[in-house]
Each structure stands twice: as C-alpha cells, then as structure tokens.
Amino acid sequence: MSRGTVLITGCTKGSIGYSLAKEFAAQDYHVFATTRKIASMDDLSTIPNITVLPLDITSRESVLSAHSIISKQTGGQLNILYHNAGYRSLGMAIESSVDEAFKMFNANLFGILLVNSIFADMIIKSKGKIVFTGSVSGYTPHPSQSVYIASKAAVELYAKTLRTEMKPFGVRVVFVLTAAVRTGMSSERVMLAENSNYRYLESKINKAWEDLERDGMSPSDYARQVVAKVIRTSPPNEIWSGSGATTVLIIEKLGIRWVYDFVFSRMFGLNVMAPSLEKDVKGS
C-alpha cells in the first residue's frame, strides 16, 4: 500500500525534482512526476510507483489535463503538491529585459498560482501538504540574478500568506529554503553583450558562480534531507537545505545583512570602480 500520492513539477533528469521523485518513491509514495517533455525525465518511468506526465505549469490547458488524469487515478485526492518547476537566467539588473523577467516570473510565480487554483480541491479533500522549492536567493543579493531573486522573494511571501489561508482546511504549507545544489540550473553562466557596462567582469562573475556550484550539495543528498522532513505528520513550516543554507539562516537570525554586500561585492569583482570611470577620474 502506498503511503500517499505526490505531484512534483519540474522533474527533468539532473534536477532537484528528479531526485525528489526518486526519494518519495523510495519512501513508498505514489509519485506523479511531471515536466514539459516526458523524455527529459529519463528513467523515472521505469520505477513502479512513479507515473510520468507532461505538464507545463504556465498552460491552463496542460494543468487541467494533468488534474483530470491524476484525479481519476486517486479518487480526487492528492496528499502532497510539490512546486519545484522553475526558470533562472542570469543578467545584470540594469541590463535585464522585460521579456526575460516575464519568463522567470511566469515559471516561478504565476505558474504556481495557476496550479494551486486548479489542484486546491484535491489537496483540501485530503488535508494534504503544499510544498515549495524556494531559495535562499530571496535573501541573498547575488549579483547577476536580480530578477530571479525578486521572483523567489515573491514566491516566499505568497507561500507565507497561503499557509495562513489554508489553515482552516487542515492543509500544511512547507517552504524549502534551498541553497547551493549541483543541478543544470546552477551550471548556467552569464553572457554579457559587447556593449555591456559589466563586460570587463564577465569572467570574474562566472568564476564566482563556478565556485558556488562546485561547493553545492548533490541533488540526491538534498532530496533525502528534505523528503524526510516533508513526510512528517507535522512538518516544519520552513526547511533549510543545501550548501550554505545554515550560513544564510545565521545571518538572517542575527540581522547582519551587511555581510552579503561585503562578501558578494568582492566575490563578483564589484568592490572597485569600473575601468571606464577610473579613466574619467584620472582625466579630471
């Protein structure tokens, strides 16, 4: 007998969602593993208690189709709705495009709103749990990902409000503050235009991201830590996991946020005047 059912979004191989699907399955849950393209989930379809489904969380038609399929298989109940799908691209704040910003907010926030509005009936019926793969990025102002950070901060505030609103229905809301984990998303690097104000820092910025990725936790270790807490009868409201999560938690608890600027400005090479301005200063 299954311990329950869980729908996980964003289960592409190598992602956090992929490892979450395997870990929930190992804990005897029936997993509905989803992503836009089933082929990208690799071997998940070979695991007996995992059902793979196509799901684009930004498409109402796709979400309704997944809801219909899952509802028929579960009798209209879902124990855990796990929001993991997301999108991240790098770029400097003053050079970020509105189109790229919309793509991030669409995947990281608006898609969540859509999925919740359609799957709420199944979660309420089971008095289940809604879980978010959040990010410590909502606290840490890492240069070159300002829009992504803004989307993650927005999701956290949404989740906190949702937690209060779902209390009357016995639904628990868990927000996972995720730090460095080695995934395909974490391997992305910034590519600056030739006329970028920050072109001279491109290699320095990418070196910083390489260092952060190298120190990241493996997705499988992360999944084991997180799932063990999520499946508790009374899970914590917040789970901090990933390399560096404890450091961010301590900084937030102590209120010493100046540390972020001190560390990141040096790590990303932003603690010195731009070469173009140095020439202007010397010329004057």
Spot the catalytic one: 18, 29, 82, 148. 148
Question: Is residue 154 a contact partner of residue 99, using CB atoms and an 8 Å limit?
Answer: no
Query: Which structure tokens are listed for 91?
Result: 């770029």
Burial 100-118 (b: 16+ CB within 10 A, else e): ebebbbebbbbbbebbbee
Give ∠ CA 209-213-217 in degrees, rounded to 5: 155
3 state DSSP class of 75: coil
Annotated catalytic residue 152: yes
Question: Is residue 16 a contact partner of residue 181, using CB atoms and an 8 Å limit?
Answer: yes
Q: Which strand (E) or helix (H) includes residue 80?
A: strand 80-83
3 state DSSP class of 96: coil
Which candidate, 199, 200, 185, places its Cα nearest to that of 145? Answer: 185
Annotated catalytic residue 148: yes
Spot the catalytic one: 18, 82, 152, 222. 152
Paired strand residues for 32: 7, 51
Q: Which residues are catalytic?
A: 148, 152
